[in-house]
């Protein structure tokens, strides 16, 4: 009878299908605009980069996440728990800190994207840069961040739902662009990129080429975000790896076919200077004109982009509370940093997020125009985000090094030496690409602009990561004062 009741409860429990988890992860990792940055940096050769990364990096990455997720499926801390359980608390703290701090430049970047999307909805063109000074752009960006922080309690839940709606709509818009671009080619549209032959796809292996690869990693990383959904799966052992495989396939379709679709409308050898900021709007505007729809598709994309970015902003701001909670925070974070308001929000973490966003905006104020600001923030994400991703591979190497201590329902590469080599390759490759990302991408070596942006890159990473050293020191000082009072 007891067994029958358990079976009834099991049948009534709501499970998430692996296809849904793959889609949820996909829309939070990569969007349509992520294919524009590498296309401007590497041209048509980025297709080879995407294909190489798919087999040499993305598939191993997602299967590594499968093993790590199934090894620590009872742990709610995600990546920080993987590192903490496989090594020690101190490294777990650093993982938490870097996971949080990498969201700060992305918050500013997303806020910029919100402004750009509304400018296209209102103005219908790319004239934002000529209508707004860098100071006004920074002030408006800061105002958006501040407004979302103040309204976090009101908007968070509704915008989490909107992020799924916006993410799904973004996926549909991306697929629509690829399909319609293919349709246009089959009905007589000539490729804008010429020559369109084998040699056009060959990469130019220069220092600049490798320095831009961090943005590709930034665009493709984040599979570990699906780990918390493991407990909601009926058969995680078999279904979670399937979700990761589907995620890899969808990523490949968007990156490779999306890039080829861009080559239909844009000459890879003569890309507009503001392509990273305005490229997606140009693309849908040109597609609409080709299909006889005018600017309808462009306006539709602008609306979808605005919804998606605002929802992402709300979720990112809420994520700042994660590093200020739990047992890791209790040991390494000063008590005043974990203080919460009546709504359970870590108020001081929001103040820190606001302060660091303002710090970044002050740095961007030294740049000449809005387009440069937009590009520089993207490049910063191409440095900081891959450094965070290094912890995924570090945890995997640590687990496989001492694999007798850990049990998992799924093993990626049963041979221990083979697993360590693949994990070590992914770790080294990610770290090297992140470090090369310090090299400015939109300025020529030795110029004043190059030196300026290089200095900004060093200062930004030093400050954002360096703050992590002070928190444990402040906590120790706090504990000493408590001991003296006793």
Give the number of residues written for the chain: 486
> Is 6 part of any domain?
no
Neighbours of 261 (CB within 10 A): 23
CA–CA gap between residue 470 and residue 231 (Å, rounded): 35
More confident residue, 277 or 24: 277
Q: 123-153 burial, b if ≥16 CB within 10 A, otherwise e?
A: eeebebbeebebeebbebbbebbeebbeebe
- Tell me the CATH number at 229: 1.20.1740.10
Residue 320 has pLDDT above 60, yes or no: no
Inter-CA distances, 299 with 27, 30, 118, 296, 345, Å: 21, 21, 10, 5, 36
125-133 own/partner pairs: CB under 8 Å, 24+ apart: 126/274, 126/278, 126/281, 126/282, 128/370, 129/274, 129/369, 129/370, 129/371, 132/370
Q: Is 432 exposed, middle or buried (0-12, 13-18, 19+ CB in 10 A)?
A: middle
Among 87-96, 156-165, 307-316, name the most confident range. 87-96
Q: In which band, very low, low, confident or very high, does the pLDDT at 150 lie, cut at 50, 70 and 90?
A: confident
CB 329 within 8 A of CB 160: no
Res 326: pLDDT: 53
Domain contains 433: yes
At CA 485, angle to CA 481 and CA 486, rounded to 5? 120
Task: Label residue 4 by pLDDT band (50, 70, 90).
Answer: very low
% of the chain exceeding 70 in pLDDT: 89
DSSP string, 328-339: HHHHHS-GGGG-
Say if 8 falls within a structural domain. no
Q: Which residues of 94-122 are buried (b: 16+ CB within 10 A; e: fewer)?
A: bbbbbbbbbbbbbbbbbbbbbbbbbbbbe
Q: Report if residue 81 sits inside a domain.
A: yes
**Mean pLDDT (whole number) for 388-410:** 90
Q: Could you give the CA distance from residue 49 to residue 209 in angstroms, rounded to a whole number?
A: 10
d(Cα 353, Cα 356) in Å, to the nearest integer?
A: 5
**Structural domains in the chain (count):** 1
275: containing domain: 18-484
Query: Which tokens hold the place of 480?
Result: 């000493």
Mean pLDDT of 135-163: 76
Question: CB–CB of 65/223 below 8 Å?
Answer: yes
410 pLDDT band, cuts 50/70/90, is confident
User: Is 460 within the bounds of a domain?
Assistant: yes
Pair 328, 96: CB distance under 8 Å: yes
Mean pLDDT, range 377-398, rounded to an integer: 93
The pLDDT of residue 229 is 73
Average pLDDT of the residues in 318-344: 66
Reference 395, options 418, 414, 419, 413; nearest CA is: 419
Mapping DSSP onto H, E and C, the string for 98-131 reads: HHHHCHHHHHHHHHHHHHHHHHHHHHCCCCHHHH
* Residue 297 included in any domain: yes
Worst-scoring range by mean pLDDT, 110-114, 225-229, 259-263? 225-229
Torsion sign over Cα 219, 96, 433, 226? negative
Output the pTM of the full model. Answer: 0.88
Q: Does residue 10 lie in a domain region?
A: no
Residue 133 lies in a domain: yes
Pick from 132, 136, 140: which is nearest to 113 by CA? 140
């Amino acid at each position: 009878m007891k067994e029958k009741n358990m079976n009834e409860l099991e049948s009534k429990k709501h499970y998430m299908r692996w296809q849904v988890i793959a889609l949820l992860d996909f829309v939070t990792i990569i969007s349509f605009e992520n294919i524009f940055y590498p296309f401007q940096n590497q041209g048509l050769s980025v297709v080879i980069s995407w294909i190489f990364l798919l087999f040499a990096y993305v598939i191993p990455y997602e299967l590594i996440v499968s093993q790590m997720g199934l090894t620590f499926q009872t742990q709610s801390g995600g990546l920080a728990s993987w590192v903490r359980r496989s090594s020690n608390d101190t490294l777990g703290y650093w993982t938490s800190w870097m996971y949080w701090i990498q969201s700060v430049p992305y918050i500013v970047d997303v806020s910029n994207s919100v402004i750009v999307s509304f400018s296209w909805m209102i103005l219908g063109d790319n004239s934002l840069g000529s209508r707004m000074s860098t100071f006004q752009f920074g002030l408006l960006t800061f105002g958006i961040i501040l407004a979302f922080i103040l309204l976090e309690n009101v908007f968070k839940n509704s915008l989490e739902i909107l992020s799924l709606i916006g993410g799904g709509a973004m996926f549909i818009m991306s697929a629509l662009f690829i399909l319609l671009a293919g349709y246009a080619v089959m009905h007589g549209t000539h490729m804008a990129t010429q020559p369109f032959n084998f040699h056009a796809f060959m990469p130019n292996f220069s220092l600049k080429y490798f320095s831009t690869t961090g943005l590709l990693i930034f665009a493709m990383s984040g599979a570990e975000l699906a780990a918390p959904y493991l407990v909601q799966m009926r058969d995680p052992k078999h279904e979670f790896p399937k979700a990761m495989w589907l995620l890899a396939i969808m990523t490949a379709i968007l990156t490779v076919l999306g890039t080829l679709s861009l080559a239909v409308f844009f000459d890879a050898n003569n890309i507009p200077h503001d392509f990273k900021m305005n490229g997606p709007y140009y693309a849908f505007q040109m597609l609409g004109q080709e299909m006889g729809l005018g600017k309808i598709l462009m306006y539709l994309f602008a609306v979808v982009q605005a919804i998606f970015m605002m929802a992402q902003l709300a979720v990112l701001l809420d994520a700042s509370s994660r590093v200020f909670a739990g047992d890791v925070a209790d040991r390494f974070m000063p008590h005043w940093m974990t203080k919460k308001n009546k709504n359970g929000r870590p108020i001081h973490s929001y103040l820190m997020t606001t302060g660091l966003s303002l710090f970044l905006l002050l740095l961007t104020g030294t740049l000449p125009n809005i387009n440069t600001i937009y590009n520089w923030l993207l490049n910063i994400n191409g440095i900081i985000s891959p450094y965070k991703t290094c912890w995924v591979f570090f945890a995997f190497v640590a687990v496989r090094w001492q694999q007798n201590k850990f049990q998992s329902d799924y093993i990626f590469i049963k041979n221990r030496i083979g697993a360590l080599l693949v994990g070590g390759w992914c770790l080294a490759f990610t770290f090297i690409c992140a470090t090369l990302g310090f090299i400015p991408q939109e300025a020529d070596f030795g110029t004043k602009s190059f030196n300026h942006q290089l200095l900004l890159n060093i200062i930004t990473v030093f400050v954002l990561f360096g703050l992590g050293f002070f928190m444990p020191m402040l906590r120790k000082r706090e504990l000493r004062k408590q001991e003296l009072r006793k």
